A and B are shown apart, each in its own frame.
Chain A
Amino acid sequence: MKKIMLSLLCLLVALAVYAGGGSDVPDAAEEKPQEVTFWYHFDDPETALNPLIEKFEAENPGITIKAERVAWDVYNQKLLTSVAGGNPPDVAQVKLWWQPQLVEMGALLPLEDYISDWGGKSDVFDKIWELTKYSDGHQYYMPLQMVILYLYYRTDMFDELGLEVPKTRAEFLETAKALTRDTDGDGNIDVYGFGIRGARGGHDWWGTFVLSSGAEFFDDKGNSGLTTAEAIAANQWFIDLYRVHEVSPPTTPSDGFKEIIANMSSGRTAMTIHHLGSSKQLEEVLGDKLSAAPVPMGTEGSWTSFGDEENAVFAATEVPDAAFKWAAFLATAENNAVWQKSSGQVSINKSNAAAGGSRFLQATTDSADFAGVLPAHPGTAEFVESLWPALMQQAFMGEITSEEMMQSIEDHFAQ
């Protein structure tokens, strides 16, 4: 009996020592090669990421990149919980609207000193430096890629009906109405004019029409501009696309990215909004029946979403120099061009700006002047992730009014 007890105790002690001691291995970073942990969220590392890592490691002996893929749906939450848990990656792909929360948590390493010594700075578009600089004056983000949302439309359907690409909101509505039709004469609508993304991520569709027609998150004085008469009317106009004019499919409230693209591919919708990232996939199916143009103008001007992606170096990193080197490597023109092969997006480097290019790239550059971002506010992340979809869906179902929806958004940002 004694023996059994003794051996059991020994086993337990050994287990405890092993479990507790494992994480306290002394850091031998000085002698060992430096390892940079890098988080990314796209599906295909073979096209660009792996060759870039090989190239970087060859150019920087002693530094290895440990790339870890994290699924997009849980990316933001994993990043924030890893910061809260004290174990973030060294470098990670990030979005602008996460920046306020990450800064609030003290998670990011200011990079301005590094950047001022970096030779590639002047080759990145000035507008991108401007958009990614945080309101506290620090530059935490290292640009990586960009997209601007534009209007996709079916050229064959436009030709068939003799339609012009709509330039204004009013023209857009008329065009969408004309495109919404019963093509096989069975009394049911087969094609809808406009595919609206009503699920998560659809705030870009909403912003295109609402933020260009009198609504703004904050005015110059920092006051909310979401519940003015114009803002509520602009939101009502957007809701009516679905409820009154019925120019988008009945599934709109639950349509996410996959449904929007599937509907456009299958001819269920004749127009939608998205960016270069989906052009390859859509073009494969639709060929030259598909084209693109800047989004239509609202009553007060134009607004489209600037889709950004950057890299951030985390303050907890033990290898800040190596981490910055990797982020800077990806922002260098030659490497950034390789990166965009897998992202399908636009390089942030002036020297990569191609003259001419596809009609999709043309629509992107034509929209550059009025592309905007959501407010740098800690509430933006939740607005995008859960508040906007829930409110929009309720408004589409007629469960809340336009005013109630805008008031809820205002209240959220006032917190």
Chain B
Amino acid sequence: MKPRSRIFPYSLITPAMVITILIIFIPMFRTLTYSLTNYILWKPAERGFAGLENYRKAFTDPIFLLSLKNTVIWIVVIITGQFLLGLGTALLLNRDFIGRGVARSLILIPWVTPSVITALMWRWMYDGNQGVINEILVRMGILDVYFPFLANSHTALWAIMFALLWQGFPFFAIMILAGLQSIPNELYEASEVDGAGRRIKFFRITLPMLKPVILTTILLRTIWVANSLDIIFIMTGGGPGYSTHTLPVYSYIRAYKGFDFGYSSAIAVLLTIFLIAFVAVYIRSILKDGES
């Protein structure tokens, strides 16, 4: 290849790179620089370099630490729940039964419903005065009186997580279903010849063959779930008190309710660092597994 023609590939990716730099890298860089300043929107005169002050403040701020704890609970519970529910659903949908095509389409409804609608819908279903969930639980005799799920700081986060579980499991289901269909039938036939039972087939063939799909899906969902803000914000606004604050919620509230862009940016940067650290460890462990 002539040296000059080596420019050609770069010229092809230039438009995409320009857009990426404009809408991703520049805002990222600005968030980083904001986080090093005491940038309060309505105090333009006092704006100045603050070094790592915002970061120092974060680790002594009880609301930040609570938000961090909630973020970890949020990710672990939702990803585990969505994965197990998605896996079960995919295994069911992979079987032959009448109406399978319809079931496969219907299962996608939660996933394609916009988050805002999901949040509003669940908020009214949970409502402690008129909500249908309370009505059902009372009629079934599980509850004596209506319970304010979203108004109680011990249950609010779990109630939202349940709604997100419902919303996100179809993504796992569809991805795993696609993975299931790519497993060659010969493997199962051969194992049957060797006398393998259903358990052995599941743990020795299905799961190992699904591993790449599962690992990729978990990675993607972790990043999305960690960043999710709309559903919490609409359902509880981060309350009652600070009980449903996660890092994105806290960052948003600091920015758009307190107009403290410096501190808010520091929270966002810390969330990014935590996520990058998780992703790095996760990908390394996948690669190690692949080698072994």
Interface residues, chain A, with chain B CB atoms under 8 Å away: 1, 4-5, 8, 12, 74, 77, 80-81, 84, 101-102, 104-106, 188-189, 198-200, 249-255, 259, 262-263, 266, 268, 378, 381-382, 385-386, 389-391, 393-394, 396-397, 399-400
A249–B147 alpha-carbon span in the complex (Å): 10
Q: Which residues of A contact B239 (CB under 8 A)?
A: 199, 253-254, 389-390, 393
Bitwise, B111-154 to A at CB < 8 A (1) or not (0) is: 00000000000000001111000000000000011111011110
Q: Which residues of A contact B236 (CB under 8 A)?
A: 254
Interface centre among B5, B42, B150, B257 (most CB of A within 10 A): B42
Interface of B is mostly: loop
A378–B145 alpha-carbon span in the complex (Å): 43
Could you jot down 11 A-B contacts, CB within 8 Å? A77-B257, A106-B44, A251-B128, A251-B129, A253-B239, A378-B42, A381-B259, A382-B257, A382-B258, A394-B242, A397-B153
With A105-B42, A255-B151 known to touch, is A5 a contact of B7 (CB < 8 Å)? Answer: yes
Indicate whether B41 reaches chain A with its CB closer than 8 angstroms: yes
Q: Which residues of A contact B14 (CB under 8 A)?
A: 8, 12
Q: Are A104 and B240 in contact (CB under 8 A)?
A: no
Q: Are B4 and A1 in contact (CB under 8 A)?
A: yes
Q: Which residues of A contact B7 (CB under 8 A)?
A: 5
Question: For chain B residues 240-269, which have a beta carbon within 8 Å of chain A?
Answer: 240-242, 253, 256-259
Q: Are B152 and A397 in contact (CB under 8 A)?
A: yes
Residue from A12, A84, A253 within 8 A of B44 (CB atoms): A84
Bitwise, B163-204 to A at CB < 8 A (1) or not (0) is: 000000000000000000000000000000000000000000
With A386-B257, A393-B153, A394-B242 known to touch, is A81 a contact of B41 (CB < 8 Å)? Answer: yes
What is the chain B residue whose CB lies nearest that of A104?
B42
Q: Are B41 and A396 in contact (CB under 8 A)?
A: no
A104–B40 alpha-carbon span in the complex (Å): 11
Q: Are A262 and B42 in contact (CB under 8 A)?
A: no
Q: Are B129 and A390 in contact (CB under 8 A)?
A: no
Indicate whether B237 reaches chain A with its CB closer than 8 angstroms: yes
A262–B127 alpha-carbon span in the complex (Å): 11
A389–B152 alpha-carbon span in the complex (Å): 14
With A104-B42, A254-B240, A390-B238 known to touch, is A77 a contact of B129 (CB < 8 Å)? Answer: no
Q: Which residues of A contact B146 (CB under 8 A)?
A: 250
Interface residues on chain B, size class = 35 or more
A104–B42 alpha-carbon span in the complex (Å): 6
Interface residues, chain B, with chain A CB atoms under 8 Å away: 4-5, 7-8, 11, 14-15, 18, 41-44, 127-130, 144-148, 150-153, 156, 236-242, 253, 256-259
What is the chain A residue whose CB lies nearest that of B18?
A12
What distance in Å separates the Cβ of B158 from its nearest Cβ neighbour in chain A? 15
Residue from B130, B145, B150, B152 within 8 A of A188 (CB atoms): B145
Residue from B11, B42, B127 within 8 A of A101 (CB atoms): B42
Q: Which residues of A contact B242 (CB under 8 A)?
A: 390, 394
With A390-B242, A393-B240 known to touch, is A262 a contact of B130 (CB < 8 Å)? Answer: yes
A262–B241 alpha-carbon span in the complex (Å): 23
Q: Are B42 and A253 in contact (CB under 8 A)?
A: no
A251–B4 alpha-carbon span in the complex (Å): 70
Q: Are B44 and A105 in contact (CB under 8 A)?
A: yes
Q: Which residues of A contact B145 (CB under 8 A)?
A: 188-189, 250
What is the chain A residue whose CB lies nearest that of B44?
A105
What distance in Å separates the Cβ of B239 from its nearest Cβ neighbour in chain A? 5
Which A-B residue pairs are the 4 nearest by beta carbons? Answer: A394-B241, A393-B240, A251-B128, A254-B151
What distance in Å separates the Cβ of B4 from its nearest Cβ neighbour in chain A? 7
Q: Which residues of A contact B43 (CB under 8 A)?
A: 104, 378
With A77-B256, A386-B253 known to touch, is A250 a contact of B147 (CB < 8 Å)? Answer: yes
What distance in Å separates the Cβ of B155 from its nearest Cβ neighbour in chain A? 11
Q: Which residues of A contact B241 (CB under 8 A)?
A: 253, 390-391, 393-394, 397, 399-400
What is the chain A residue whose CB lies nearest that of B153?
A397
A81–B259 alpha-carbon span in the complex (Å): 9
What distance in Å separates the Cβ of A81 from its nearest Cβ neighbour in chain B? 7
What is the chain A residue whose CB lies nearest that of B15?
A12
A263–B151 alpha-carbon span in the complex (Å): 15
Residue from A77, A188, A386, A397 within 8 A of B240 (CB atoms): A397
Q: Are B41 and A84 in contact (CB under 8 A)?
A: yes
Q: Are A254 and B253 in contact (CB under 8 A)?
A: no
Q: Are A253 and B127 in contact (CB under 8 A)?
A: no
Q: Which residues of A contact B238 (CB under 8 A)?
A: 386, 390
A327–B150 alpha-carbon span in the complex (Å): 42
Q: Are A1 and B147 in contact (CB under 8 A)?
A: no
Residue from B18, B129, B152, B237 within 8 A of A200 (CB atoms): B237
Q: Which residues of A contact B253 (CB under 8 A)?
A: 386
A393–B43 alpha-carbon span in the complex (Å): 29
What is the chain B residue whose CB lies nearest that of A78?
B256
Q: Which residues of A contact B256 (CB under 8 A)?
A: 74, 77
With A268-B129, A389-B239, A399-B241 known to touch, is A254 a contact of B150 (CB < 8 Å)? Answer: yes
Q: Which residues of B contact A382 (CB under 8 A)?
A: 257-259
Q: Are A251 and B44 in contact (CB under 8 A)?
A: no
What is the chain B residue whose CB lies nearest that of A8?
B11
What distance in Å separates the Cβ of B235 from its nearest Cβ neighbour in chain A? 9
Q: Which residues of B contact A381 (CB under 8 A)?
A: 259
Q: Are B257 and A266 in contact (CB under 8 A)?
A: no
